[in-house]
Amino acid sequence: MSYPKEFLDRMKNELKDEFDLFLSALEMPAPVSVRLNPFKQTEFFYDSEIIPWCENGRYLSERPSFTLDPLFHAGCYYVQEASSMSIEHVIKENVSAAGPVVALDMCAAPGGKSTHLLSLLPADSLLVSNEVIPSRNNILRQNIAKWGSHSCIVTQSKAEDFSSLKGFFDLVLVDAPCSGEGLFRKDPDAMEEWNLMAVSKCSQRQSEILHHAGELLSEGGLLIYSTCTWEREENEEQVKILIERGGYELIQLKKNDEGIVQSEFGLRFYPHKVKGEGFFLSALRKTRGVRMIASKKKSAYAEQNQKAIIAKYLEGPELFQPFEKNGLVYAIPAKIYPEFNLIKDKLYIRHAGVPLGEIKGKDFIPSYELALCTHISDKTHFKDLSLDESLEYLRGKWPGVKLEDRSWSLIKYKGFALGWAREVGGRVNNYYPKECRIKMM
């Protein structure tokens, strides 16, 4: 591969005797890794090599066709680059399991960090997962739905739109847009877009995002900052500026693999030293600031039909509060409803709790998100399909299998839900979302 000269010169100056090893590593195939969903446990990949810094992370010996694996579409695992799973160590070391937290993933698409946070945060925590770019927000919502969590709110807002929520969050993760040097091996297009001007623009944008993100943290709150580049201007310099402004203390992150490099302001991952791509990770504790607490006022009135939907489709219906908007009914966990109520008019919300479905006259059409939710009632009628039948279903077709029930049927593969189907007039209709359907044969 032909790398930009400015990039090579800087890396040679930085790595010195290790530069040739680094360059050789960039020419090697990128490792394949996945992170298992602890809420949808399967034996698939379980015996694969464990990623040292991630309990549910696995290295694969080769890249399978994930598109043709129904368990991928069921959300049993997430395909993710290994180095970026290192946020797990920061959470486990610095977030108390004693009580729930309110967390924000500021730049969340495509959803790797958010689904990871949903696996790690204490019970009854709330995660606000934000992505401002509409097309990327669509992908984020699909991945959040697959993960099956009920305690996430997806927003589509600019960093500055959060200004009315100063001191609201206990944890803010900024996986910032960057120049992407760490992805050169995995994504050659990132190399085509790289230049010194792009580095400078990324640095400016990162500084703006961090400024807004910092204001949202309560005193004692945790700020996690990461990028997939090696540029000091985008990494250590950003952290240094925050500390020099005051109000933060640097958390000395521990290395849990000898290949990880400790720098003055964080951890660095290089492909010739760890089995992963380029990555930078830092964490800071906010030492002063305000704290905003959501009012625990009584929940809003719920219509009987909304309560009936929750009672029919969710386990522990008493744990949820219904919310309706534009005909779509949501189930919000009661313990995070005050926080939801506070932010619902301040941010552009695209997904909240469990989107149950749509009320159309006397009919209720259950949602794709409900199908994949881990809180769905085990009394829901289902049909388990074979591999070939499941792939036909995922393509938007119906494999000719008879449904034993004429009501809505949950379609499963190996016990894990994929979506809905319904028999109408002797014909089975496939309700798998068009935007999620696979085209590969």
The catalytic residues are 228
- Contact by Cβ (8 Å): 143, 115: yes
Measured between its terminal Cα atoms, the distance across the chain in Å is 32
Place of tokens 């703006």: 208
Q: Give the pairing of strands 217-227 and 169-175.
A: parallel
Q: How far apart are CA 327 and CA 305, in angstroms?
A: 12
Quick one: DSSP state of residue 367?
A: -
Give the count of beta carbons closer than 10 Å to the beta carbon of residue 98.
6
**Helix or strand (DSSP H, E) at 6:** helix 5-15
Q: Distance between CA atoms of 82 and 185, rounded to whole angstroms?
A: 14
Place of tokens 């799973």: 85
Task: Say which residue the tokens 């203390």 belong to.
Answer: 249
Burial (0-12, 13-18, 19+ Cβ within 10 Å), 255 = middle
Residue 309 backbone zone (phi > 0: left; psi -120 to 50: alpha; other: beta) = alpha
* H helix or E strand, kind and range, residue 417: strand 416-424
Specify whether the CB–CB gap between 171 and 105 falls below 8 A: no
Q: Which residue has the tokens 């992908």?
A: 139
H-helix or E-strand spanning residue 370: helix 368-372
- To which H or E segment does residue 126 belong? strand 126-130
Helical H segments across 179-254, by residue range: 188-192, 196-216, 236-245
